[in-house]
Amino acid sequence: MSELASTPTQDSLPRRFSDFATLGEALDYAATGQRGLNFHDMRGKLARPYPYSEMRADALAMAYRLISHGIKKDDRIALVAETGTDFAALFFGCIYAGAWPVPLPLPTSFGGKESYVDQLTVQLKSCDPKALFYPAELAEMAGEAAAACAVEGIDWESFGDRIALKAELPAAHTDEICYLQYSSGSTRFPHGVAVTHKALLNNLSAHSHGMEVTESDRCVSWLPWYHDMGLVGCFLSPVANQVSTDYMKTEDFARRPLAWLDVISAADGTVISYSPTFGYDICARRISSQSHVNDRFDLSKWRLAGNGADMIRPDVMQAFVDAFGDAGFKASSFLPSYGLAETTLAVSIMPPGEGIQVELVEETELTGHAGAPDRPVRYRAIVNCGKAVKDMTIEIRDENRRPLADKTIGKVWCTGPSLMKEYFRDQESTDACLVDGWLDTGDMGYLSNGYIYIVGRAKDMIIINGKNHWPQDIEWAVEQLPGFKAGDIAAFSVTTPGGEESPAVLVQCRTTDETERAKLREQIRDKVRSVTGMNCVVELVPPRTLPRTSSGKMSRAKARNLYLSGEIQPYAIAA
């Protein structure tokens, strides 16, 4: 039996940087070449090459089946976004059939069946689809959610066995909705981001220009396809820019994160691969100082190590360089970026080769309040997230929407052809963030010489006695204590029984010893007091308690809601 071969990195097909009117046109063009998608097992071994030509044929067959099933133009079709050929063919099958694919999450390792069914139910009610497609192994959970919403549930294996009777495909237009994307953490109050073909293809073009994609580039990804960075950046962008891509499933990365680096090492050509900060963190932690990383990995071909989806932490990036420098990884490969689903994906990308650059900003400038005279001066390292991508304009504005000067912190606004059309069936939320063709991102930051620096989320701000505190500062402070790591801590404000606002810190605790827990609470209080000057509520919770968004980062908003509702039960304090 001959060994499987990946789709090639290089191709004789002339490269087009996403200059298409519709996503279907993009796949039509990519399918005339040799490149495609490649799915790897949990050990990083190639399991299934999937050329774009084969994907297009499968997608057309799926489109015919959908039309035979009664699916009409502009119907929503919900798809559980498992990384594999079935989802890929169905997603593009929806596109060819004129329907809107709606990627929905897979179950996570926490929360259990009930939590997953609830999440699907809320999102199904929001997008009102004609059907929900899912892998057969999720039939019980996904089927229960579908039934609760009176939506037809279909496993895609049996649907794929149906005869595909040819049918006339509806014409697609560039200004029509292409898909709905649910943004991270959107469970209780879902926001279905409606993206047109024109907006999508403009942003995908911005990716290839911003990253200066070359003939020798291929993409490697473990990011989930229900999150914008995974779906748009690492699935749709490779199609529209004709880039061969190697995938691991997200759950396989979680079990064996270093297999991601194995796939990069084995790649034929130069590599573009993205991860949130925690992906780099977990890899650096898995390598001991005694390991000979150059014996196993060759990371010299990793041209662009993208970083996005959460606040970029320079200390974690440095730890990754320290761990994998001997394997050829270069710090200049880091590519910070900034984006959100409401802009399709990318807002800014660091010019390739400039790496991670930070500015030290005095804490009182971040909070907008002068520090106490006797308080030591503290600085925070703010990472440069690059320059606005092609056709995007960024402004920093004050509370009255007036533009601010360079190096002045305010709300980040942006405008360009890739802004979402709306939040689906939610005009109030749409009007709240889309004003005169500009998007209020909800983020705080500042511009400096054309580069954007993101300070934090405005809605996450902890405001006590009129003074602003970033939850990241509190979380990072607690992480400096022995035994804690990124994602173990969630900081937010609560109202105390006395009616005052106070910072609360939920901390995942692994010790069962009551004396140790009491000591930990005091250490955490002292640490937070040293950063904020305030007393805080410290709650120790069991490991794997804090909820995460679809991109894997800890969700402060959801943690706060679960805590206040009593669904997160802290350890009792011994009398």
- pLDDT tens string 176-187: 999 999 865 434
Distance in angstroms (rounded) separating the CA atoms of residues 248 and 408? 41
- As a whole number, the mean pLDDT across the chain is 90
Q: DSSP label at 120?
A: H
pLDDT in tens, 349-390: 999 999 999 998 876 676 555 554 555 666 778 899 999 999
Distance in angstroms (rounded) separating the CA atoms of residues 277 and 413? 24
Domain 462-565: which CATH number of 3.30.300.30, 1.10.10.60, 3.90.550.10, 3.40.50.300: 3.30.300.30
Element spanning 152, H or E? strand 152-155
Give the model's pLDDT for residue 211.
97
Average pLDDT (437-457) is: 91
Q: DSSP label at 548?
A: B
Confidence tier at 496 by pLDDT (50, 70, 90): low
Q: Structure tokens of 275?
A: 């991860």
Answer positive or negative: Cα dihedral of 256, 260, 261, 263: positive
Between 496 and 227, the higher pLDDT residue: 227
Give the model's pLDDT for residue 575.
58
Distance in angstroms (rounded) separating the CA atoms of residues 544 and 556? 14
Distance in angstroms (rounded) separating the CA atoms of residues 400 and 567? 38
Q: Residue 188: pLDDT above 50?
A: no
Bridging pattern class, strands 131-134 and 245-247? unpaired
Average pLDDT (258-278) is: 95
First-to-last alpha carbon distance for the chain, in angstroms, is 68
Q: Structure tokens of 499?
A: 């009616």
pLDDT in tens, 299-308: 999 999 999 8
- Say which residues have a Cβ less than 8 Å from residue 373's Cβ, sequence separation at least 6: none
Q: Residue 570: pLDDT above 50?
A: yes
Confidence tier at 544 by pLDDT (50, 70, 90): confident
Cα–Cα distances (Å) from 494 to 212, 220, 500, 557, in that order, read: 46, 41, 8, 12
Domain 23-32+50-202: which CATH number of 3.40.1710.10, 3.20.20.370, 3.40.50.12780, 3.10.129.10: 3.40.50.12780
Domain boundaries, the chain: 23-32+50-202, 462-565
Contacts 24+ apart (CB under 8 A), 395-403: 395/438, 395/447, 396/445, 396/446, 396/447, 401/435
CA-based angle 26:386:103, to the nearest 5? 40
Dihedral, CA atoms, 340, 345, 349, 353, nearest 10 degrees? 120
- Say whether 462-565 and 23-32+50-202 share the same fold: no
Give the model's pLDDT for residue 161.
94
